[in-house]
Amino acid sequence: MFSFQVIIDNFPVLLWAARNTLLISVLGCLEGLILGAVICAAALSARPGLRRAAAIYVSFFRGVPLLIQLLVAYYLLPVIGLNVPALVAAVLTVGLCAAAYLSEVLRGSLNAIPKGQAEAALAIGMSPRNIWIRILLPQALKIGLPSIVNELILLVKASSLVTVVGIVEITRMSQSVAAATYRPLEIYLAAAFIYLAINLVIAQAGRALERRLTL
Amino acid sequence: MFEMLQHYGPDLLTGFGITLLSWTLGTVFGLALGFVIEIVRRFGPSLLGYPIRAYVEFIRGTPFLVQIFVLYYGGPLLGLRLDAMPAGILGLTIYGSAYFTEILRAGFDAVPKGQIEAARAIGFANMTIVRRIMVPIMMVSALPPMVNFAIILTKETVILSMITVPEIMFQTQTMMSETFAFFTPILILALFFWGFVELISRLGRRLERRFTYYLLDRS
């Protein structure tokens, strides 16, 4: 029989574990945005070498499943003598992967900015770096907001994969609780609804932010 | 390295095969189910609109990993006792159907209303309109996102290794834990997925050319 009592009893621990899910996805998204802006700048630069490097980066991180990337980070970092905590490694890897997608989002939004903006900034004597940081990037972030929110939702779901490197977030916690209570159906469904709730909140917040920015 | 490949060759081949099989079945069934859902949403009773919306939101809002855990570990409690492989394919089908349904919805919405009205005016039945008018026109705008999602599904198949489906990820992980070798298994995985995704995107481009053939300027 389906038992709600099991869910009620174990809900607090699952919610507690949601902290790590949020931590990984939000930090991963921020890292992805910063790194993505750099990669996007490289992809649009005049130097062919930089453009090539950006293209390889994007195709690698979009082409290889995140699960494999996480395992590579998990096995490879100790081999090359870097002993970082698993949580740091996971956030870094998720962010590296997000950067590939977000750089493409930013590149798309930059195309939507009228050319006159950059030309006007150049005409009043702003440096290329300043034009990038003060004129282009803020507008690209605004135009790309729906896609960025979308990416954040994808990251919340992708963060379930970090259970393979032993970090206790919602999925990992629900695995242990399911093993302890012998009630996998209830526990995993509860976990699914927590993810759903997080994503609905993010989607709503994104829509509210969009409305504010487009006033 | 060569010896290792010789030893693990058969297992790896099985892994490749199972990954390809689960991807193919998951994509085909997912697309079929998504198509049925979209047709029901469009032509069926409007009462079904809400459950379908809830289904799509639930599947798209939760991680695939959690979905197959519910299916594989939670299913037996509801009397749904599946082996890892069928559970994995069913999981991919359900996951894919929610996304394909949304892609098809956008595609059908992009079909000009006049085309459908004209077809209705000359007396086409609903299903004939779908088959002869809506699907061919929808394919032009919906095929690229469909190929895109098929590529995303290739990467979701590695998650099946978590419920012990012996696909390529599972095999290479076994290889890693038995030999402590790290470089070769990862290289195999990377090469396999690179080739796999490249193959699908080429296939997709060929399909695209077929479906947009009539749009070409042949003057």
CA angle, A26 then A29 then A34, to 5°: 130
pLDDT at B5 over 80: no
Per residue in A98-112, pLDDT tens? 999 999 888 888 888
Per residue in B48-87, pLDDT tens? 989 999 999 999 999 999 999 999 988 888 888 889 899 9
Task: Say how far apart CA B217 and CA B219 lie, in whole Å.
Answer: 6
Q: Alpha carbon A6 to chain centroid distance?
A: 32
From the number of C-beta atoms within 10 Å of its C-beta (0-12, 13-18, 19+), residue B152 rates as middle
At A46, list the tokens: 């005049």
| pLDDT averaged over every residue in chain B | 88
pLDDT at B218: 65
Task: Report chain A's C-alpha Rg in angstroms.
Answer: 20
Size of interface A-B (CB pairs under 8 A): 98
Window from A150-154, B35-39, B181-185, B203-207 with minimum mean pLDDT: B181-185
Task: Categorize the per-residue pLDDT at A215 as very low, low, confident or very high, splitting at 50, 70 and 90.
Answer: low
Q: Is A169 helix (H, G, I), strand (E, B) or coil?
A: coil
pLDDT at A76 over 80: no
| pLDDT averaged over every residue in chain A | 88
pLDDT at A73 over 70: yes
Q: What is the DSSP letter of B160?
A: G
Across the range B76-99, mean pLDDT stands at 91
Preferred mutation among B65, B81, B175, B186 to probe A, highest tally of A CBs within 10 A = B65
Q: What are the two backbone dihedrals, phi and then psi, of residue B111, each rounded to the nearest 5 degrees? A: -75, 125
Q: Residue A92 is inside which H or E element, if any?
A: helix A86-111
Across the range A68-76, mean pLDDT stands at 83
At A20, list the tokens: 């790590």
pLDDT at B38 over 90: yes
Across the range B83-106, mean pLDDT stands at 93
HSE-up of B218 (CA within 13 Å, CB side)? 5
Q: What whole-number percentage of chain B has pLDDT above 70? A: 98
pLDDT at B97: 95
* Cross-chain Cβ contact A68/B75 below 8 Å: no
pLDDT at A1 over 80: no
Q: Is A68 on the interface with B (CB under 8 A)?
A: yes
Task: Categorize the per-residue pLDDT at A49 as very low, low, confident or very high, splitting at 50, 70 and 90.
Answer: very high
At B178, list the tokens: 């038995």
Across the range A67-90, mean pLDDT stands at 83
* Cross-chain Cβ contact B75/A185 below 8 Å: yes
Q: Is A201 helix (H, G, I), strand (E, B) or coil?
A: helix
pLDDT at B35 over 70: yes
* Cross-chain Cβ contact A63/B197 below 8 Å: yes
Give this prediction's pTM: 0.85
Which residues, 6+ apart, have CB-to-CB distance to B79 below 8 Å? Answer: none
Q: Which residue has the tokens 């621990």?
A: A13
Chain B residue whose CA is closest to A194: B62
pLDDT at B205: 87
Residue pair A41/A137 in contact by the 8 Å Cβ criterion: no
Which residues, 6+ apart, have CB-to-CB distance to B84 below 8 Å? Answer: B72, B160, B163, B164, B165
Across the range A129-146, mean pLDDT stands at 87
Task: Say how far apart CA B97 and CA B110 lie, in whole Å.
Answer: 20
Residues of chain A neighbouring B194 (CB-CB closer than 8 A): 63-64
pLDDT at A165 over 90: no
Across the range B19-29, mean pLDDT stands at 95
Interface ipTM: 0.80
Write the residue in B62, B77, B190 that is nearest to A192 by C-beta: B62
CA distances from B75 to B62, B71, B99 (A): 17, 5, 22
Residue pair B143/B204 in contact by the 8 Å Cβ criterion: yes
At A156, list the tokens: 């919340």
